[in-house]
Structure 1
Amino acid sequence: MTLNFVRIAYAYDRTRYHPPEVSGKIATAIVSPVEESFREPVFLELGVGTGRVGVPIVARGYRFVGVDVSPSMLEVMRHKIAGVGRKVRLIEADARELPFERGSFHAVIGVHLWHLLDDWQRALLEAFRVLAPGGFLFEGWDVAAAENEDWRIQEKWREILGEMGFELKRGRHQRRLAEVRQAMEQLGLEPVEETVAEWIEERTPRQSMEILEERLYSFTWGVPEELFRPSLDALWEWVRDTYPELDQPHPIPWRFVIRRTRLPE
């Protein structure tokens, strides 16, 4: 399918946010080691999206560059940083072909990025190319608790699609993270992972369904159009039978993980 980022940009920003205190902890975990190593550091975020990770860094006054292939995502972020974005550049560009000189940045950030790229190796090499000696690569991702109602709804959808003859493939993100780690270790680098924030999100069954309908998860993108709507209609019927109160929130425990890798000086 062809992704319509114009349609999903605001929906993504509305549903994939972090609470303010979580955003602050993520920003601190990124900027602190860089600030200790470099004077007046410059940050680059690949696939910056609507700025849920970048905006808190911008708000602290650092020089920041964000790139994304979606002008709609960048436009949402521009609205967010209006008035505080004096040291910010937002550029429509591909992470696999960055328009920057070698060694231009002291930190490169990529959050939920690698699994979106079949040729992720190019983006990884580009990240290393634009990093200064001793610079940091920060990878970040959200991890939900294994058992929650949102997951249960997704699993039911997978079952419905299976009955229609389509296998919904999940887990690509975690598999890709393992591949990237292996690639970095083969280069002699030493990635370090750390959970930097934990929180509880209250999400209703209706919101879980809306997220699927908007195709905000990458695992939804491969579902053919001819199966997408009928399968969701069947899922809606199951959800209404299973959750009489569609707007009753259920807790989802989350944590945010950062993997930090430093280049040799």
Structure 2
Amino acid sequence: MVQKSNYYNNIAHIYDETRWLTAAIAEDVINYILKLVNATPDTSFLEPGVGTGLNVFPLVKLGYPVTGVDISESMLNQFRYKFQEIPDNLTLIQTDASLLPFPNQSFDVVITCHMIHAVHNWQEFLNQVMQITKIGGFYLNCQWLTPLARLEFENHFRAILAKYQPFSRQQSPNSITEINVDAYLQSQGYQGNYSIAKKWLVTNTVEELLRCLKLRAYGLCWQISDNIFEQVITEFEKFCIQQYGSLETVLASEAKFEIWMYTKCNNTIN
């Protein structure tokens, strides 16, 4: 099985094109976030697990100070390639996002997007996040989870994949279902404010989704050897033709970008 950093190195060049958060949607989300946090031109942002910069690229273009941390240098390079030259307001650091190498009260806004399950100790990570957030600043825990039609498609793939895995794989380091960020932060004295930044319709043909799997664009595709993966894909493609009638069948469902916002106040623990 490929380690997570290597997995991201392997897919960095196809990451953006195989996700359903487009550049246009990301711009709408950032405009929403700027209003949510009452941003000024000097408002500083950090995204641990920044990857290719898909979420925060619009912030950089608008001139806000942005720092990104990621374990994969290849993912960070994809972010760099989006600029003719790296702007002065962007700082990228290659390191494990579980370890945030910043002094206390360094950033006005810290953003995480569907990455907390990947850190080694998520409670300690959240403690660090709140420590490096300035008093009066914000932590935004964001999710843009898999749209329903796409999730059902992937679950069919998982069912076939499971036949080739004799032992159930332990999720590492955390199971997503075991993590309750809101409950933990409430226990630390923070109150969350939930909102939906954006809803949009995601449409793909079965063939387009199958291509993403063939490119091994997702972590579940790296849980098995290359030879077994080819067997799984062959079987799954036959299943798709039977299940959907044609590889040109269009699957459509709503996606949404969710935000849980926490304010760093003087009376909170960190």
Please, what TM-score do these two structures have when normalized by structure 1? 0.86
| Residue 155 (structure 2) pairs with residue 155 (structure 1) | yes
The answer for unaligned runs of 5 or more in structure 2 is none
Contact 1:203 1:252 in 2 (8 A): no
In structure 2, give the amino acid aligned to 1:194.
S
Q: Which residue of 2 aligns with 1:35?
A: 38
Distance apart, 1:108 and its partner CA: 0.6
| Residue 17 (structure 2) pairs with residue 14 (structure 1) | yes
In structure 1, give the amino acid aligned to 2:50.
V
Cα distance, 1:128–1:156 mapped onto 2, change above 3 Å: same
In structure 2, give the amino acid aligned to 1:77.
F
In structure 1, give the amino acid aligned to 2:71.
V
Q: Which residue of 2 aligns with 1:196?
A: 197
Contact 1:103 1:133 in 2 (8 A): yes
Contact 1:143 1:254 in 2 (8 A): yes
- Counterparts of 1:162 and 1:92, CA distance in 2: 34
In structure 2, give the amino acid aligned to 1:100.
F
In structure 2, give the amino acid aligned to 1:55.
F
Which stretch of structure 1 is more off in the superposition, 251-260 or 236-245? 236-245
SS in 1 for 2:258: strand
Q: Which residue of 1 aligns with 2:57?
A: 55
- Counterparts of 2:24 and 2:8, CA distance in 1: 28
Please, what TM-score do these two structures have when normalized by structure 2? 0.84
The answer for unaligned runs of 5 or more in structure 1 is none
CA-to-aligned-CA distance 1:205-228 (integer Å, 9 cap, x gap): 122223233443344454566643
Q: Which residue of 1 aligns with 2:114?
A: 112
Distance apart, 1:255 and its partner CA: 0.9
Cα distance, 1:166–1:160 mapped onto 2, change above 3 Å: farther
Alignment of 1:1-265 (within 5 A): 1-2=1-2, 3-36=6-39, 40-83=42-85, 85-146=87-148, 148=149, 150-164=150-164, 165=166, 167=168, 175-176=177-178, 178-223=179-224, 227-265=228-266
- Counterparts of 1:190 and 1:219, CA distance in 2: 34
Contact 1:71 1:92 in 2 (8 A): yes
**How high is the sequence identity, in percent, across the aligned residues?**
25
Distance apart, 1:121 and its partner CA: 2.2
The CA RMSD over aligned residues, in Å, is 2.6
> What is the count of residue pairs matched by the alignment?
260
State the 4+ residue runs in structure 1 displaced beyond 6 angstroms: none
- Counterparts of 1:47 and 1:92, CA distance in 2: 10
Distance apart, 1:236 and its partner CA: 1.3
